[in-house]
Structure 1
Amino acid sequence: MTEFHLSMPLKKEELEQLSTGDVVYLTGTVLTARDEAHARILELAGKGEELPFDLEGAAIYHCGPLMRQKDDRWEVVAAGPTTSARMSKMTPRLLDKYNVTALIGKGGMDNVAGSLKGKCVYLAFTGGCAALAAENIREVETVHWPDLGMPEAVWVLRVENFGPLIVGIDAKGNDLFAKIEERARKVFSGLR
């Protein structure tokens, strides 16, 4: 296990260096996106329409933040990760269309390791760390699609040393969560 302090967007050589179990801290821009934002991204892509934000080299954080408006600015109250498995079915199509280099969320993702291979990593943030995550968000740059509601909108966040994040799926196709699940099945089957 190695610790990395990386800046967004991630470079190809940085992606290749990361292995499951490594610890990562990110600095730069991160965009939040949950179920409804993923669906709208794919809908617009299907129509050939441009997005109001850039996903080139982006980090997508599976998060439904709690925000508060103060004067003309937004500030983060809490920004913990949400369950990433909910986005698993949409992720391969998203990665076919856009050059996203990092996905951040809670738990694992089902059947996406092949789609991440050579281009993206999945970084797991421990659930229950909403206050910790908010500490490392320096600024809310803007919000897109507020009509989806606060947790589903796309928030553009500037982060500094955001983490600790654990490489759950690396760009080589290794899936830490799948390995743990397989080991657990073997142990469980031995108990019968």
Structure 2
Amino acid sequence: MPRTLELPVTAEAIRELRVGDEVRVHGRIITAREAAHRWLARTDEPMVRAWADGGLVYHCGPVVARDPATGAWRFVAAGPSASLRMEPWEADVLARYGLRAVLGKGGMGPRTRDALQRHGAVYLHAVGGLAVTLARHVTRVLGVHLLDELGITEAVWHVEVADLPAVVTMDAHGDDLHAPREAAAPAEPA
């Protein structure tokens, strides 16, 4: 049975999650891909920190539409991006913005794994190919940052999600389903 992950969340609560746990995410999250991660890693942006503290960054380049009558944004598609592309900046972004979770696909590298342990955070894997289905879990667009500078798919979106499905594949204890495993050599006879 999936566990509920209510955001914002504390490091202590995140440390209760283990690799293999299924979760359903509820609360406010941000999206950020490569261009946004480069910017976030070198910039201390108080507004984004307020959005992110205790929350989750989703590696997602959403397809977004704007209602011509109201001007309100809505997510049409929200599939995960390959997370390894954000590896050069993720540890810095986790530390600077107080994030407790990263959501994407494919896992991340050793620098991020170490940062997850140090800061009490987890990596969550979302299933690719379900962009339209995942967008249905985005219940409201709360804001957007760097839209003019980075464009729709690379901007930092602040959204509310409900019942967003994911699996913990890197936890705050150093366990990592994406890390290469060394084959155990058979014991030599004595």
User: TM-score normalized by structure 1?
Assistant: 0.87
SS at the partner of 1:60?
strand
1:140 maps to which residue?
141
Separation of aligned partners in 2, 1:85 and 1:40: 17
Structure 1: which 5+ residue stretches go unaligned? Answer: 188-192
From 143, 154, 157, give the equivalent of 1:155. 157
Distance apart, 1:13 and its partner CA: 3.1
Aligned AA (1:115): A
Q: Please name the residue that 1:6 is paired with.
A: 5
Aligned residues: 177
Matched residue, 1:121:
122
1:172 corresponding residue in structure 2 = 173
Contact 1:41 1:51 in 2 (8 A): no
Runs of 4 or more consecutive aligned structure 1 residues displaced over 3 Å after TM superposition: none
SS at match of 2:47: coil
Greater alpha carbon shift after TM alignment, 137-146 vs 92-101: 92-101
Is 2:101 the counterpart of 1:102? yes
Structure 2 distance, partners of 1:144, 1:89, is: 21
Q: Secondary structure in 2 aligned to 1:89?
A: helix
Cα-to-partner distance string for 1:140-183 (whole Å, 9 max, x where unaligned): 111111020111001111101111x01011011111111xx326
SS of residue in 2 equivalent to 1:176: coil
Give the superposition deviation at 1:40.
1.0
Deviations 1:86-143 (A, max 9, x none): 0111111222322110100011101121110051100000111101111111111111
Q: Is the 8 A contact 1:140 1:155 kept in 2?
A: yes
* Residue 32 of structure 1: aligned partner: 31
Partner-residue secondary structure (3-state), 1:182 = coil
Aligned residue type for 2:88: K
Letter paired with 1:120:
A
- Report the counterpart of residue 16 of structure 1 in structure 2: 15
Deviation at 1:41, TM superposition (A): 1.1
- Unaligned ranges ≥5, structure 2: 185-190
The SS at the match of 1:9 is coil
Partners of 1:144 and 1:98 in 2: CA distance: 15
How far apart, CA to CA, are the structure 2 residues paired with 1:28 and 1:11? Answer: 13
Question: Equivalent residues in 2 for 1:66-77 (5 A)?
Answer: 66-70=63-67, 71=69, 72-77=71-76
Q: Secondary structure at the match of 1:39?
A: helix
SS of match in other structure, 1:76:
strand
Conserved in 2, the CA contact under 8 Å of 1:29 and 1:157? yes
- Aligned equivalent of 1:52: 47
SS at match of 2:178: helix
CA RMSD, 1 decimal: 1.6
Contact 1:77 1:131 in 2 (8 A): yes
| C-alpha displacement of 1:11 | 2.3
What amino acid is the match of 2:113? A
